[in-house]
Every structure is written in structure tokens, then in C-alpha cells.
Structure 1
Amino acid sequence: MSHAVGAAGRLPEGPRGRLPGRVVRGYAAGSVATGAFGTVPGLLLLPYLTDRLGVAAGLAGGIVFLPKAWDVVLNPVAGRISDHHVSAAGPRRPFLIRAGVALAACFAVLFGGPSSPEALAAVWVVVAFLACATAYAFFQVPYVAMPAEITDDYAERTRLMTWRVAVLAFAILVSGASAPAIRDAVGPAQGYRVMGVVVALLILVGVVGAWRGTASAPVGRVHRTGGMLRDQLRIVAGAKDFRVLLGTFVLQALATGAMLAGVDYVARHVLGSSSASTLLFVCFVAPAILVTPLWERLGARRGKRWGYAVASVLLGGGALALVGARSLPAAAVYLAVAVVGVGYAGAQMFPMAMLPDVAAVDAARTGENRIGVFTGVWTAGETLGLALGPGLYAAVLALGGYVSSTDSTAAQPGSAVMAITLGFSLVPAALVALSLVLLARYRLDEAAVRAANASSPQEV
């Protein structure tokens, strides 16, 4: 077995050994960047367009979706490029620092544009968000591909994902709770600009942490892939367990994207306080920090698919309970959101630990490592779901007759408030229920993955 040499000139532990703590923590640091970028635009970009720039809800949904749709095309390309990249720092790590720094810079620009005229402001958001999406593709795809190459151990991948999801939850909590608080504290005129700079700095912290922390990470089983990108995509699409896992994850990303987009609206129009958005976010994310180790133990005892199914039931059940949010006491709403958060933690950890398993079985079967293409398609699907979520929520608002305004104080008809509630509850619950139908078709277990790892060639 060959390895990449660490930054200190030492040979790191092999992919089958237990990963050093510094590598696990360093890899997890990258979730600060992915968590912040995945959260804040989904939380505040739609309200920024409808209630700060005065863009109609339907058009605002399109603006949020289009740059993300570009990532659906770009992510498999980014995976293919990183599969073929050769560097002394490893095949994936150079992308982390280059694309990560670009992402932070573009994010600071996103909320720093003009507020009028409306057309110019909308174009600014589209162009800046498109630049963010491009940089994010070349950060996220190599980042997600790394676990399959730095360890071959079934349980060790779960450990790696446990740390990643715990840090992801913390990043979502910090960014999601602080972003609206900063906006409200500074005021609508400059609040979005200040918030954009602060979150950009947070992204940069995660980027540098991942770059430095994975410097000594082992690299194994990096094979050259054959054929054109379309050939690789066709082969990946033929992997049944990957299709099932991806479909499940995309439907849940769509559900959580819709809920994320609805937080600010539910806080203002259902709970009656814009500051409630911070508390809703804390209730959603804080449980994940506490329960992620418990999900790891459950997965070790009962298997990843079983744990994923339980987490999905909690995710969907909590969302369904929020259908009555308009008549429930505020405490009950926060409790239901906390249940969603418990399920969300497992629904993030398990599929991300299962993805390298799917890639390992494919590599053993074909003799080629296509993890970059797998993760490119995976992140494209995730991006599509998270992008369609706010778009779907915006469509529900438009159907309910939501009134856009430049000062966020416009009175809303009862139909709009109902749309705010249903888009936050019933719609996500239905999507999660559909995802469980797909998950029931997933067949890979620990024995199959270990057999694949044992038979797979180990090269650089």
C-alpha cells in the first residue's frame, strides 16, 4: 500500500488504521464552511429579496434557485477534475484552500450590493450568488470525496462523519442564530451587509482549519478513472444503492431547504417576533450537537440504514407536528422543531457515512475509483434539493398571496399566513415520508462493505 507523505515528512497511518485525532478534527473543521454557506443563504436570502429589495415572492424563488441549479451541472465536473488532479498535497486538498477562499470573498459581496433600483439589485444577487455557487462546488465536492480515500474502515467512516456532523451542527447553530441577530441589531439598511462580512469570515475559518488539519491525512486507493465524464455518470447512475441513497437524501434536502427558508417567516408571522427566528434555529440545531454521538452508537449496534430510517421518522414526524403551529403554544412549536433537529442530525450523519461505502463497493466491482464522480453527483443532488427547497417554499407563499415589501412590515392575509405554516410543516413532512419509501430499497450492509474493502486494490 502506498501513501501520501504528511506535511511534517512522516508517513501517516494507513487507510485501514484508526485515524489520528488531529485529522478527524481537521476534516470536521471544513463543515464550518459548508454549514455556514449551506445555512445563511437558505435562511435569509429569500427574506432579503422579498422584504428588503421588494422582489415578488415567485421571482425571488427563481433568483435563489438559478445559481444553485448551475451547481447541479458543475458539481459532477468538479468531481471529475479533482479525480484527475495530481498534487504533493493530495488530490483534493488544494481545492479546499483555493475554492474556499474564493467562496468567502464572494459571500461578502452577495449581501453588499445596491438596494435599488430593484432590477439592478436583483441582478447583483444573481451574479454574486452564481460566483458563490461556483466556488462552493470546487470546495464541497473534493471535501466530501476525502473520507473514502483517507480510510477504508466501515466504522471509522462513521466516526469521521460523527465529528463532521457535530461540527456542522455547531456551524449551523452559530451562523443560523447569529446571522438574523446581526441583521436585526444593526438594522435593515446595513444589517445584511455586516452580516455578510461576518459569515464570510466564519467560512474562511473553516476553510483554513480543514486545509491545515488534513495536511497529514493518509491517502490511499486513488486510481485513475477511464472514459469521458458522460460515461462515468452513466456507470454511477447504474449503481442501484447509490441511486436509492441519493434519492432519499435529495428529498430530505428539499424538505429541510423548505423548512430553513420558512424560519424567518414563521418567526415574524406565526410567532409574532422576528427575534424568534434565532430561538427556532437554536431549537433546530442544538439537539444535533448533543445527540450525534448517540446516533453513532445506534448505527454501530443496529446498522447505518436502520439508524437512518429512525432519524428520518423523527425528522418527518416533527415537521408534521408543526401543521398546528398557528394554534399551538410557542413552547410546543419550539419542542417540535427540536424533534426535527434530533432527526436532522441522524439524517445528515448516516447518509454521509454510507456514501463512501457505496463508492467502495463500486471500486471493488470495477477496479476504478470514481469517488469524485460519486460525490460530484451527490453534492449536485444535495444542492438541487437545498435550492429547490426555498423555491418550493416561495411558490407556496405565492399561492397563498404573500405580499412583498421593502420594509418587511406589510400586513399579510390569512391565506399567506396559512401558506407560511404549511410550507414549513406539511410539505416537508410529505417529502420525508416519500424518502422513506426509497430508503427501504437500500441493501448494503457492513458485511458487504468489508468484503469489498478486502478485495479492492490499494494504490496511489
Structure 2
Amino acid sequence: MSAAPLPRRVRIGYALGSVATGSFGTVPGLLLLPYLTDTLGIAAALAGLIVLLPKALDVLLNPVAGRISDRHVSPLGPRRPFLLRGGLALAACFAVLFAAPAFDSKVAGASWVLLAFVGCATAYAFFQVPYIAMPAEITGDYTERTRLMSWRVAFLTLAILISGGASPAIRDAIGGRDGYRAMGLTVAALLVLGTVGAYYGTRRAPIGPAQETTGTLRDQLRVVAQAADFRWLLSTLMLQALAIGSMLAGIDYLARYVLGDPGAASIGFVCVVGPALLVSPLWLAFGNKFGKKTGYAAASAVLGLGAIALTAANHLPAWCVYAATGIVGIGFTGAQVFPLAMLPDVAAVDAARSGVRRAGVFTGIWTAGETLGLALGPGVYALVLAAGGYVSSTDQAAVQPGSAVTAIVLGLSVVPAVLIAISFFTLSRYRLTPEEVLEAR
């Protein structure tokens, strides 16, 4: 493969795919649980299960999608056809997801959402996996691949900020089921934009050979069992993904039942995600000076501090709650930056020790683990709501008992704080030193 710089239109075209991944990765975790409990009237525990199962399905679908795209032969390249098919199918299923008719039966409403979300998860697997695999086939140049990723991260951050901030605002501006339908169509349009942009934007990109899938799922799990540093790093990531998933699921409930302002959901989400645009370089500088593991621990501490501050949310003015979510956002940014920077170190050291290149295996399991953690988060939050006696309703918000309001706060503060505290133990077991990494490279 040529090491010549990629045209800017290819970089932008590829990065546009993150509009789709960022939007779908954000909005269901933020609004699907409230849609089920407060519009369709589904009990909190069952709603949490509906949110969890299709996303957990991705863990099984990702290797299948990878193998199929690896073996696909097309003049368009092995990956691009899947972008268009998977992305457009995802957009259609997403529009259907939030457009449930007013069924007389709650079972029918729950079934509608479950089937539509399974469709979303399936389509997303066949978009996401080929999309992530493309950079290795577009260019073999290390520096050019880094540039490509920097464009992708920039578009991803903006997509998360726009979709997560605008979705509650659109829903609340229209209200009721129509608000959710309009929001669903708007996000579906973003998914189409990301899909079409990535498909046509990469049409002139170099096409390299597809990378073979390494082993079966059992083989991949065996690799994880043998790589202790990867296992502890992945465990830390999953615990914190679970914590973040629970916090994001609680933002809408916090806005409506604690702050008394549905519009506060957009502000709260922006406070969580917005700092990424400002503090990412600061966390990188901190890590360069003190080391990645120390930086990850510091970011986790800030994240935990923000969660602890939210325990008093029902006794604080709104601006204090926003400040606490801003602290969460600062910690969350670092907790995203450092593990992604540590993963290549683990893969490089493993390759040096084993003599086998298994970066793709590590990346696949890493993505599956993060997906599972984020999927479990809303499910855990739903269980906390159920334990607090949360009252589900149809179309109009129900009056909640004091125990439910307490559960709303505990689910996005104490529960994540405990998970983050446990993650310090798993992170402490990570033993790779900078010297080992430099020697491996």
C-alpha cells in the first residue's frame, strides 16, 4: 500500500462515518429507557432488559460481521458495500424504534421496541465492524493512519455532542409521542448523513487486502486469559463504561424529577460531553509528564468525584448540579483518552513476547467489552429505579414517591461511584511499564 498522504476528501469522508456511530452510540442510552417507562408505560425492570438485550447481542454479532466482511469480494472493496447497506438499514430501524403506535397492550409496545432495537443492533454491527476495519486497508502508513484517526475523533465528538444535546430538546419542544417520533426521524437523518458521507467519501480511497479474522471467539477469549495486563485494563474499562452508562441513563430522569425542568437534560448532557473539546489536550499533556497509568488513575478520580458530588443533587441548585456533571465530563474525557492510548501498548508488548501480531483480536474484544459495559449501564439504572418503586406511565409523567426520586439520584451517583472505586483495584493490577513498552517497540 502506498504511503502517500490521503486526499483530504478521503479523510473527511471516512470521518463522516463517525456521525453515524456517535449518534447511535449516544441517543438510545440517553432516551430509550425514559421512552419505555414514561411514554409506553413499561415497568422499569422490564424496560432495562429491553435496552440491554439488543446491545448485548452486538457482542456476538461483531465477530460474525467481521468474518463476513473479511471474506466479501467486491470491486468497491471488502468493506464499503456494508457501510451503505448496514447504515441505511440502521437509519430505517432507528426511525421505527421511536415510532411505536398507541397500542392498547403494553406487551405490544414492548415487543415493538425490542424488535426494532434488535434490528438496529444487527444493522449497526454490519456498519460498525467494517467501518472500524477500513483504516488498515486504506493506508499502511503509521502517520497517515494517525491523521485519519484524528479526523474521526473530531467528528465523533461533535456527533455525540450534537445528537445527545439536541435529541432531548427536540422531544421536549414537540412533546409526547410526536416528540419522540420527530427526534427519531432527526437522528435517522444524521445516520443517513454519516452513512452516505462515508460511503461516497471513501470511493477514491486505496483498497488494500482485507485482514483475516484471527481465530474463533473461543480462541480470542483464550488470548485474553493469557494476557493479564489486557485483562485488567479491559476490566477497568468495562467497570467505568458501566458507570457512565448508568449516569447517562439517569440524566433525563434527573432533569424531570429532581431539577423539575425537562430541558435540563440537554444541558446536563452537554456538561458531560462538552469538556472533551477543551480538556483532551490537557489530559494528554498530563499523561506525557506523569505516565498513562497515573493519568488514567487521575481521570478516574475526577470522574468519581463528580459522581459523589451528584449524590446531593436533590438538595442543590441547578447550577451546582451542572457543575458536578461538568466535573464528570472532565474525568470522563481522560477516562476515554488513556485506555485508548494504553491498548496499543498492550498489543505491542504481547506481539514482542509471543511473536504473533494479535492487535485485531485485542481491538475486537475491547470493542465488545466496552459495548457490553455501556449496554449494562441503563439496565443497572433501571433496576435501581425498580427497587425505588418508580411509577411508569403513558404519555404523562406520573407523580413519583420519595423513594423513586432517591433512586433516581442514587442510580447516577452512588452506584457509578462504587463501580469507579472498584475500577481502581483492577487498574492497580495493570503492570506494564513505559520501559517495557519502549523495548517492545
Corresponding position of 1:436: 424
Q: Distance in 2 between matches of 1:161 and 1:350?
A: 15
Corresponding position of 2:55: 68
Counterpart residue identity of residue 421, structure 1: V
- Is 2:411 the counterpart of 1:423? yes
Match of 1:295 among 266, 274, 283: 283
Corresponding position of 1:206: 194
Q: Distance in 2 between matches of 1:66 and 1:75?
A: 15
Corresponding position of 1:457: none
Corresponding position of 1:398: 386
Counterpart residue identity of residue 241, structure 1: D
Contact 1:158–1:353 at 8 Å: present in 2 too?
no
- Is 2:283 the counterpart of 1:313? no
Q: Distance in 1 between matches of 2:58 and 2:174?
A: 32
- Is 2:349 the counterpart of 1:344? no
Q: Distance in 1 between matches of 2:6 and 2:414?
A: 42
Q: Distance in 2 between matches of 1:349 and 1:221?
A: 30
Match of 1:272 among 260, 263, 270: 260
Counterpart residue identity of residue 417, structure 1: V
Contact 1:83–1:373 at 8 Å: present in 2 too?
no
Identity of aligned residues (%): 65
Q: Distance in 1 between matches of 2:377 and 2:231?
A: 20
Contact 1:79–1:375 at 8 Å: present in 2 too?
no
Match of 1:173 among 161, 164, 183: 161
CA distance 1:156–1:436, shift in 2 (3 Å): farther
Q: CA deviation at 1:168?
A: 2.6
Corresponding position of 1:95: 82
> Which moves more between the two structures, 106-115 or 389-398?
106-115
Contact 1:142–1:372 at 8 Å: present in 2 too?
no
Counterpart residue identity of residue 435, structure 1: S
Q: Distance in 2 between matches of 1:330 and 1:187?
A: 23
Structure-2-length-normalised TM-score = 0.89
Match of 2:25 among 38, 56, 80: 38
Counterpart residue identity of residue 64, structure 2: V
CA distance 1:447–1:159, shift in 2 (3 Å): farther
Contact 2:220–2:365 at 8 Å: present in 1 too?
no
Counterpart residue identity of residue 223, structure 2: I
How many residue pairs get aligned? The number is 439
Q: Distance in 2 between matches of 1:328 and 1:416?
A: 18
Corresponding position of 1:137: 125
Corresponding position of 1:248: 236
Match of 1:78 among 65, 68, 80: 65
Q: Distance in 2 between matches of 1:26 and 1:297?
A: 29
**Residues 98-136 of structure 1, C-alpha deviations (whole Å, 9 max, x = no match):** 322221221111112223122111111001100111121
CA distance 1:246–1:212, shift in 2 (3 Å): farther
SS in 2 for 1:436: helix
Corresponding position of 2:399: 411
Q: Distance in 2 between matches of 1:450 and 1:19?
A: 29
Q: CA deviation at 1:190?
A: 1.1
**Residues 409-459 of structure 1, C-alpha deviations (whole Å, 9 max, x = no match):** 211111110000010111111111212221222244565455545xxxxxx
> Which moves more between the two structures, 164-173 or 341-350?
164-173
Counterpart residue identity of residue 291, structure 1: V
Match of 2:317 among 322, 329, 333: 329
Contact 1:77–1:229 at 8 Å: present in 2 too?
no
Corresponding position of 1:128: 116
Q: Distance in 1 between matches of 2:340 and 2:54?
A: 24
* Structure 1: 5+ residue stretches without partners: 4-10, 454-460
Structure-1-length-normalised TM-score = 0.86
Counterpart residue identity of residue 67, structure 1: P
Contact 2:13–2:198 at 8 Å: present in 1 too?
yes
> Which moves more between the two structures, 231-240 or 364-373?
364-373
> Which moves more between the two structures, 410-419 or 374-383?
374-383
Match of 2:40 among 27, 41, 53: 53
Q: CA deviation at 1:276?
A: 0.9
> Which moves more between the two structures, 172-181 or 231-240?
231-240
Counterpart residue identity of residue 99, structure 2: G
CA distance 1:31–1:298, shift in 2 (3 Å): farther
**Residues 122-179 of structure 1, C-alpha deviations (whole Å, 9 max, x = no match):** 11100110011112122223434456675675x8877665554443332122111111
Q: CA deviation at 1:76?
A: 3.1
Q: Distance in 2 between matches of 1:366 and 1:157?
A: 25
What is the RMSD of the two structures over their aligned residues, measured on CA atoms?
2.9
Counterpart residue identity of residue 266, structure 2: T
Q: CA deviation at 1:252?
A: 1.1
> Which moves more between the two structures, 298-307 or 194-203?
298-307
Contact 2:258–2:314 at 8 Å: present in 1 too?
yes
Contact 2:292–2:342 at 8 Å: present in 1 too?
yes
* Structure 2: 5+ residue stretches without partners: none
Contact 1:158–1:350 at 8 Å: present in 2 too?
no
Q: CA deviation at 1:365?
A: 4.7
Q: CA deviation at 1:74?
A: 1.8
Q: CA deviation at 1:270?
A: 0.7
Q: CA deviation at 1:257?
A: 0.6
